């Protein structure tokens, strides 16, 4: 299974290729399908990491786990 960073890199390339708009419908569907699989893999990895962080925070006892906020939720979106 590819690493998180590799998945993100590939997703960026897929988006770039789709945004160009010069791909056939079949190719666009292939890229979309690949992108959805990569997205699911990234989401799963993030959820696992979030769970580990919450466990570590609970072990400390002094800190309370907080909901994970992605960069896009905090306003750091690419235009």
pLDDT of residue 50: 87
Q: Can you give the pLDDT of all 79 residues of the chain as single tens digits?
A: 568 889 999 999 999 999 998 999 999 999 999 999 999 999 999 888 888 888 877 776 665 555 656 554 444 444 4
The pTM of the full predicted model, rounded to 2 decimals, is 0.62
**Torsion, CA 44, CA 50, CA 54, CA 59, rounded to 10:** 90
Question: What is 5-63 written as a DSSP string?
Answer: HHHHHHHHHHHHHHHH--S-HHHHHHHHHHHHHHHHHHHHHHHHHHHHHHHHHHHHSSS
pLDDT of residue 3: 85
């Amino acid at each position: 299974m590819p690493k998180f960073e590799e998945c993100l890199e590939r997703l960026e390339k897929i988006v770039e290729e789709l945004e160009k708009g010069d791909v056939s419908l079949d190719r666009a569907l292939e890229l979309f399908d690949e992108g959805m699989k990569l997205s699911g893999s990234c989401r799963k990895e993030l959820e696992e990491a979030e769970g580990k962080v919450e466990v570590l925070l609970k072990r400390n006892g002094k800190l309370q786990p907080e909901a994970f906020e992605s960069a896009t939720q905090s306003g750091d979106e690419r235009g």
